[in-house]
Structure 1
Amino acid sequence: MEHADVCRDELPRLDDADTEDVAAAFRSLAERRLLMPMSAENRRYAAAPPDAAVEALIRPLVQQARRAQNAADRLRRELVPVYESALERRLRQPLFEELPDVPSVRRALERFAAEAEREVLTSQPGGARKEEVLREAMDRTEAMLQRGVRMRTLYQHTAQYNPGTAAYVEIVSGLGAEVRTLGEGFMRMIAFDGEIVVIEQKGNPKAALVVREPSVVSFAVAAFELMWLQADPFPVNLGRAQAIQVSDKTKEDIIRLLIQGESDKVIARRMGMTVRTCQRHIAKIMERIGAKSRVHAGYLLREHEGNLVISDSPDRSGND
């Protein structure tokens, strides 16, 4: 070759190679940077040493890898402090925290509700809820439902007879909440995202305990799920048939507690009704089975347990 550079058209023709083969070989050498353009028009090329060709080929890959590494470092600088801060904050939080009074309970519930992302589970024994409590809960509930947080609530059967509770359930059900009722035997609690549970303190209904211990929280959520499967949907409009059904279930629960020997006061508390309403139910049961006293009623109920049918027109009083 007389020149240090060459144009593709000037390539010597080989006896056993045609033009297409020569052109393909030229392109292959150029792609591998073994032929480098000598001008902007890329009309003339010069041979390049292999080490320079390798450098030209890997340079873009190295630059791309460097950009990816820089992006990863930037994300690490941005995210790791956030994660570490959140982890540190969680580690600092106690597994059990006492809320000594109603204001502290309300502040905690408002904070947990605002931070909830997936699901809130609520069980509220005690029958009808006070209107002031329902008004306070409405804003929290509406905000969570609008964020797409799933909400499930358990009440006692007797709550169905209370107009205020029924109106509240109608509103939140329209927003997507799920509400069911059960006779008795469940605790008052609110679980947030399966991570935090707020339960009522024993002997002090105005105080609460915040539980973050994973095993305890998991147990409380599992207990709720079991009760949820046994519960009935809360009817927004309580018709006669539903009212009779609720009344019958209430009497069945009272009979079970009578057989266990519980007092009127304990039965009333566990059924979510006043003592006077409970005594009225017990009087009707005694009249129906022909009992002359509480002792006689207990004997008859034990003798005929499982075979008694106590059903009559519903007592729509629920709670006095």
Structure 2
Amino acid sequence: MSTTQAGDAVGDGEAGAVLGDDEEIDAATVRVYQLRVTHPTDLVSQLAARAGLDREQVSQAEKKLSQLGLLQRSPSGGWVAISPESAAEALLAPLERDILQQRIAMAATREQLHALSGDYLEARSMRSAKSSIEVVEGIENVRAVIDDLGRTCTTSLDSMQPGGGVTDAAVRAAAPLDMELLSRGITMRSLFQHSARRHRNTVQYVERLTTAGGSVRSTGTLPSRMLIYDRDCVVLPLDPLDTAAGAAIVRDPSVLSFLCQVFEQCWEDGRDFVEPDVAAPDTEPVGVEREVLLLMATGRTNDDIALRLGVSQRSVSRTVAQLMARLGATNRFQAGVRAAELGWLTVQDPAEA
């Protein structure tokens, strides 16, 4: 309640104002209050002369003091000054009663909500039953489910994040949850595509993860966005092109086993996220360069390669030009022959990579 909400009968001494955070009792008002203590029957003109103020200033000061309960009208005329302690008690008592009632209501509401804990856990255990695939629609509902899964995660979180990088909004949403999981000792493995290495926000996000104890790799292609909690629940987007549409929560053992195998295969094929993409001019290509070379050798166009690797067509064109220059080739056929002669097209053993 502000000072504009004073009682209607200010002249009768009814208190109704509370000072706001940016308000204070000015020096003129304090002076008028002091003089009213010693001269309760003075007229406004007399008090103004004593205070060195004009009549309007005195009237405004008396109005404020009356609103605060520091002045009350005397039955015989004039004003009676009230001690600050008594005025505070009278002014703030109703507010304190309101606060007490609100606290009682809050406690009752909290007790009622906590009473639902057993029902929630029972329902959650039913939702977590095996042989189930649950569909959750809407981005807010998906976030609520992910938050719940994160809070109840006990051992591990594996994730696939295809595309060229993580958006700022996604980083802001995910980072606090990831840091909390890692602080609880949860094992966290994250997979990105090679193209994410050139996305500054993603690189910074990965640095935070690895510093906190997470493991991060990148690979050429990823089949889908995926979150695997404790290896007994997988979250997949309903629409890979529109993750806000909803998600499928998979707990069916056979489907879950297959998705975990997919992740493990991609993880084995991946390389450490901080590994450089481009090798020295006289060494075998690795990372994105190797992915581009292998796809070139199969006859893929630059557009096809860009689509499969999740990078720009310009980036692929630049990489192809660099490879051909290193191989001393004037066309893709010559580049393929030269790369085969050098053994660059052989399938690498992950243990030797």
TM-score, scaled to structure 2: 0.54
1:272 counterpart residue number: 310
Q: What is the SS of the residue equivalent to 1:204?
A: coil
Q: Is the contact between residue 225 and residue 240 of structure 2 (CA under 8 Å) also seen in structure 1?
A: no
Q: What is the SS of the residue equivalent to 1:122?
A: strand
Aligned pair partner of 1:180 in 191, 211, 217? 217
How many Å separate the matches in 2 of 1:157 and 1:117? 29
Q: Is the contact between residue 126 and residue 270 of structure 1 (CA under 8 Å) also seen in structure 2?
A: no
**Percent identity between the aligned chains?**
27
Aligned pair partner of 2:341 in 300, 303, 307? 307
Question: Does 2:251 correspond to 1:217?
Answer: no
Q: What is the SS of the residue equivalent to 1:148?
A: coil
How many Å separate the matches in 2 of 1:170 and 1:220? 27
2:35 counterpart residue number: none
How many Å separate the matches in 2 of 1:202 and 1:301? 38
Runs of 5+ unmatched residues, structure 2: 1-117, 345-353
Q: Is the contact between residue 183 and residue 250 of structure 1 (CA under 8 Å) also seen in structure 2?
A: yes
Q: Is the contact between residue 155 and residue 182 of structure 1 (CA under 8 Å) also seen in structure 2?
A: yes
Aligned pair partner of 1:114 in 138, 151, 154? 151
Q: What is the SS of the residue equivalent to 1:151?
A: strand
Matched letter for residue 273 of structure 1: V
What does 1:233-244 correspond to in 2, within 5 Å? 233-235=272-274, 242-244=276-278
How many Å separate the matches in 2 of 1:217 and 1:97? 13
TM-aligned CA deviation for residue 192 of structure 1: 0.6
Tell me: CA distance 1:184–1:307, structure 2 relative to 1, closer, same or farther (3 Å). Answer: farther
TM-aligned CA deviation for residue 151 of structure 1: 0.6
How many Å separate the matches in 1 of 2:197 and 2:188? 19
1:34 counterpart residue number: none
How many Å separate the matches in 1 of 2:122 and 2:201? 46
Q: Is the contact between residue 198 and residue 209 of structure 1 (CA under 8 Å) also seen in structure 2?
A: yes
| Number of aligned positions between the proteins | 221
Q: Is the contact between residue 193 and residue 222 of structure 2 (CA under 8 Å) also seen in structure 1?
A: no
Matched letter for residue 261 of structure 2: A
Q: Is the contact between residue 154 and residue 186 of structure 2 (CA under 8 Å) also seen in structure 1?
A: yes
How many Å separate the matches in 2 of 1:146 and 1:126? 27
Which structure has the bigger radius of gyration? 1
Matched letter for residue 255 of structure 2: V
1:257 counterpart residue number: 295
What does 1:44-193 correspond to in 2, within 5 Å? 87-91=125-129, 95-193=132-230
Higher relative contact order (CA 8 A, sep 6+): 1
TM-aligned CA deviation for residue 233 of structure 1: 2.3
TM-score, scaled to structure 1: 0.59
Q: What is the SS of the residue equivalent to 1:244?
A: coil
Matched letter for residue 217 of structure 1: L
Tell me: CA distance 1:89–1:122, structure 2 relative to 1, closer, same or farther (3 Å). Answer: closer
1:227-274, Cα deviation, whole Å (9 max, x unpaired): 323322233xx7xxx353497421110121223333433322322312
Runs of 5+ unmatched residues, structure 1: 1-79, 311-320
